[in-house]
């Protein structure tokens, strides 16, 4: 008999996981959001489930309860579910999908006898499109029963599970944020510079994504040393100084971020980090002032 799953917080992540689980044979129970219209929309996107505009006893009726809510709502929702579920909690598995929090946020449910853990897809879910989960790494942690379920879910969703120490989740999530949200900030800042010198937005984004894709391909195929190009890799610190001078025409975060990333690249990519950092320090120390 297939298992049942409730989705509490059916936004971008909840809809995608719900739909993929339905496709792999799970039965959908309650689909909970904060209004009936968003709950109905989520049920349509998932293709099954019972829409609810608030937490209620039905939320805890499934074998598995996936809490795909924003982090700040998790403590209150865990408290409410534990109060609603009471004895129903025993034997249930509750997993959340936060990257930064571990299972301790679900302590009220664990106290009532539920198995608790987290299952974080290292994937970005933006807008309405549901991204592929094939090959996606799911960071998992929790008690033994919750981990077994998280491992099974990751596999059924087409991904791979990696066990993480719950106390290291902030570091785990910082790594993901560096290459996802923060890298997007870099693309937008670089696009703004290109647009300032005459590119159209479309042309700027196309040029930068082309460059980035090849860099990512080189990293994957050749490894970081061979993939590293640009002035710091060549030891051309005059070019670095010219970059910093040019970036003074932009808000100060542009040159500050450039400087911080130059140092980071020197630290993690250079074969001789201390020599590279010393050179960078002298260039960066002489290139300050006159910011917007
Ligand atoms: N987005 C990503 O790329 C990504 C990737 C990996 C992990 N995650 C994690 O997954 C979780 C969900 O992220 P998301 O991007 O899917 O968020 P989201 O799109 O903002 O969706 C959040 C959902 O939770 C519902 N909700 C909020 N408070 C609620 C409450 N008290 N009771 C019931 N439902 C409530 C919202 O209802 P309404 O629809 O009615 O507003 C919405 O459906 C977060 O912990 C996030 O860190 C996100």
Residue 278 shares a structural domain with residue 156: no
Residue 199 shares a structural domain with residue 54: no
Is 77 among the domain residues? yes
Question: What is the residue range of 115's domain?
Answer: 4-166
In tens, the pLDDT along 46-100 reads 999 999 999 999 999 999 999 999 999 999 999 999 999 888 899 999 999 999 9
Residue 150 shares a structural domain with residue 189: no
Closest Cα to atom 46 of ligand 1? 98
33 lines ligand 1 (CB under 6 A): yes
Residue 53 shares a structural domain with residue 92: yes
71 lines ligand 1 (CB under 6 A): yes
- Rounded CA-CA distance 57/46 in Å is 21
Query: Considering the entire predicted model, what is its pTM?
Result: 0.95
Angle at 157 between CA 156 and CA 163, to 5 degrees: 85
Residue 2 confidence class, pLDDT cut points 50, 70, 90: low
CATH code of the domain in which 60 resides: 3.40.50.720
For 43, phi then psi, to 5°, come to -65, -40
34 lines ligand 1 (CB under 6 A): yes
- Rounded to the nearest angstrom, the distance between the alpha carbon of 262 and the centre of ligand 1 is 35
pLDDT value at position 288? 58
Q: Is the pLDDT of residue 1 over 60?
A: no
In tens, the pLDDT along 110-133 reads 999 999 999 999 999 998 889 999
Residue 28 shares a structural domain with residue 156: yes
Atom of ligand 1 nearest to the CA of 9: 24
Tell me, what DSSP letter sits at residue 131? -
pLDDT value at position 168? 98
Is 101 among the domain residues? yes
Residue 25 shares a structural domain with residue 142: yes
Residue 23 shares a structural domain with residue 80: yes
Is 66 among the domain residues? yes
Is 291 among the domain residues? no
How many residues in total does the chain contain? 292
- Pairing mode of beta strands 115-121, 137-142: antiparallel
Residue 281 has which token pair? 């320090």
| CA R_g for the chain | 23
- Count structural domains, the chain: 2
Contact 102, 166 (CB under 8 A): yes
Is 292 among the domain residues? no
184: left (phi over 0), alpha (psi -120 to 50) or beta: alpha
- Rounded CA-CA distance 6/65 in Å is 5
Residue 105 shares a structural domain with residue 198: no
Burial of residue 14, with CB atoms counted within 10 A of its CB: 0-12 exposed, 13-18 middle, 19 or more buried: buried
32 lines ligand 1 (CB under 6 A): yes
Q: Is the pLDDT of residue 290 over 60?
A: no
Of 21, 61, 40, 24, the C-alpha closest to 10 is 40
Is 172 among the domain residues? no
């Amino acid at each position: 008999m297939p298992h049942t799953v409730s989705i509490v917080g059916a936004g971008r992540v909840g809809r995608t996981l719900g739909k993929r689980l339905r496709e792999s044979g799970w039965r959908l129970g309650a689909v909970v959001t904060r209004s009936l219209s968003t709950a109905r929309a989520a049920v349509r996107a998932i293709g099954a489930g019972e829409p609810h505009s608030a937490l209620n006893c039905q939320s805890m009726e499934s074998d598995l309860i996936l809490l795909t809510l924003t982090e700040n709502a998790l403590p209150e929702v865990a408290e409410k579910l534990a109060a609603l579920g009471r004895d129903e909690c025993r034997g249930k598995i509750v997993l959340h999908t936060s990257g930064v929090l571990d299972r301790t946020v679900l302590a009220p449910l664990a106290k009532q006898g539920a198995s608790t853990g987290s299952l974080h897809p290292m994937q970005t879910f933006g807008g309405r499109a549901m991204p592929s989960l094939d090959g996606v790494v799911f960071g998992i942690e929790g008690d033994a029963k919750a981990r077994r379920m998280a491992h099974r879910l990751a596999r059924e969703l087409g991904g791979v599970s990696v066990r993480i120490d719950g106390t290291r989740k902030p570091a785990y999530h910082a790594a993901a944020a560096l290459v996802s949200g923060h890298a997007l900030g870099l693309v937008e800042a670089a696009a703004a510079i290109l647009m300032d010198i005459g590119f159209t937005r479309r042309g700027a984004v196309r040029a930068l994504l082309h460059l980035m894709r090849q860099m990512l391909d080189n990293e994957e195929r050749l490894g970081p040393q061979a993939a590293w190009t640009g002035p710091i890799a060549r030891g051309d610190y005059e070019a670095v100084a010219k970059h910093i001078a040019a970036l003074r025409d932009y808000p100060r975060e542009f040159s500050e971020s450039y400087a911080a990333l130059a140092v980071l690249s020197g630290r993690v990519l250079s074969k001789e980090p201390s020599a590279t950092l010393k050179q960078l320090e002298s260039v960066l120390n002489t290139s300050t002032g006159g910011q917007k």
